[in-house]
Structure 1
Amino acid sequence: MPAEVPTPTATPLSETGALIVVVSRRLFFAVMGLAAIVVVAVVVLISTNWATSAAVILSGTIGGFIGLQRRLKELTVEDLRVLANSWVQICLPPLIGGVLAMLLYVILLSGMISSPLFPHFAADPSTREGCEAPHFRILLCHHGADFGEYAKLVVWSFVAGFSEHFVTDIIGRFEGEAAKNVGATDDSPKPPQ
């Protein structure tokens, strides 16, 4: 006669585990909502100069979602309660991730940081409409040299959303350098670089 196999009993989740389940479910629905918006945006923006900006914001937003999901087990019960009870708190880190990704894109376009790791952009002569006048739209007239440059842009945009400190640390570094140079004249010695 075979030995009796014990039936598994469900153990109740701790409060932390239950809150993580609720927050993860909210994150899932938020990502699905974002996916629906992306499908519409891709259809509308694919043939415009806004496609690169949309990809940057989307990559940063996805990085924000994944970064928040990764940090859930490290959060306090009080933080989890806030996330479980507020859609705004669920959507805020991804929104900030998208904004920081766009800011990083502008920093990369400005040439303030450069390395083989970062994408390089050049003005696209085929997109003349609206690109002659010196206004903000001219940012949309710069494109990567090849697919590799766009791939780097997507990766760094994701990193900007995933790790909010990445872009804020870059800004802090620029802030420190600017503070050193305030009041310096062309004749004064420059700090070593």
Structure 2
Amino acid sequence: MSAIERQQYLQKITQRLVTFTGAALVLIALGLYGFIKINSCDPAEICKERSYLVLLVFVSGLLGGFVSIQQRLPSIELDELKVLSSSWVSITLIPINGGIFALVLMLMFAGHIIQGQLFPVYPDTFAISDAKTFFIWLEKAYPENGVDIAKLLFWSFVAGFSERFVPQIIRKTSSEIIEEKQKQP
């Protein structure tokens, strides 16, 4: 009976994950389409360059979280499966955290906190001084080239897939800053 019960819980959790992730992707796509439609250029107007990379970063993290939980489900104990199958919050929190971690990681790349050949490079062309310039940055800030965009989306997926990745970077960076301050006279 426990093998059948286990399979039923796995199916219920998977259905909820697929439903949530699919709904989130559809809502993001519709929101993006609506935003583009509302802000589309008139023929007489000069079109501004726009980037919705922030949404793609969130989606990459969301998908990373989805794949991560899917891979872990078969090894989860029956009691935990029972709890997960009865709670939408517990199931959807992992992909949502993945999207949030991907956005935090993007900010770390843009702020040059994480640098190296494996990571995307952002140009230092924006001066953010208020809410308006922040939203302009969100709309137009993107890595230097297509290769760096691919790196950003890859690392965004990793941030969602490995839920400890971004918190470990934050802890390590915080520790390094504290150590540097303690060394100063």
Normalising to structure 1: TM-score of the pair?
Answer: 0.78
1:60 maps to what in 2?
61
SS of match in other structure, 2:182: coil
- Match for residue 25 of structure 1 among 3, 6, 15: 15
Letter matched to residue 100 of structure 1: F
Deviation, 1:114, is 0.8
Structure that is richer in helix per residue: 2
1:184 maps to what in 2?
183
Normalising to structure 2: TM-score of the pair?
Answer: 0.81
- Match for residue 35 of structure 1 among 11, 20, 25: 25
Deviation, 1:14, is 2.6
Output the CA distance in 2 between the equivalents of 1:72 and 1:12: 15
Q: Deviations over 1:84-103 (max 9, x none)?
A: 10111111011111111110
Output the CA distance in 1 between the equivalents of 2:153 and 2:165: 15
4+ runs deviating over 3 angstroms: 44-50
Contact 2:99–2:160 (Cα < 8 Å) also in 1: yes
SS of match in other structure, 2:164: helix
Deviation, 1:38, is 2.5
Whichever of the two has the greater Rg, that structure is 1
Correspondence 1:31-180 to 2 at 5 A:
31-45=21-35, 49=50, 51-123=52-124, 132-135=127-130, 137=134, 139-140=137-138, 141-180=140-179
Deviation, 1:182, is 2.8
Any stretches of 5+ residues in structure 2 without a counterpart? Answer: 40-48
Contact 2:128–2:137 (Cα < 8 Å) also in 1: no
User: Residues 54 and 45 from structure 1, CA distance in 2 versus in 1: closer, same or farther, beyond 3 angstroms?
Assistant: farther
How many residues align structurally? 170
Contact 2:57–2:153 (Cα < 8 Å) also in 1: yes
RMSD: 2.3
Deviation, 1:34, is 1.6
User: Residues 41 and 152 from structure 1, CA distance in 2 versus in 1: closer, same or farther, beyond 3 angstroms?
Assistant: farther
SS of match in other structure, 2:114: coil
Deviation, 1:49, is 4.9
Letter matched to residue 163 of structure 1: S
Letter matched to residue 25 of structure 1: Q
- Which protein has greater RCO, CA pairs closer than 8 Å, 6+ apart? 2
Letter matched to residue 142 of structure 1: A
Contact 1:63–1:160 (Cα < 8 Å) also in 2: yes
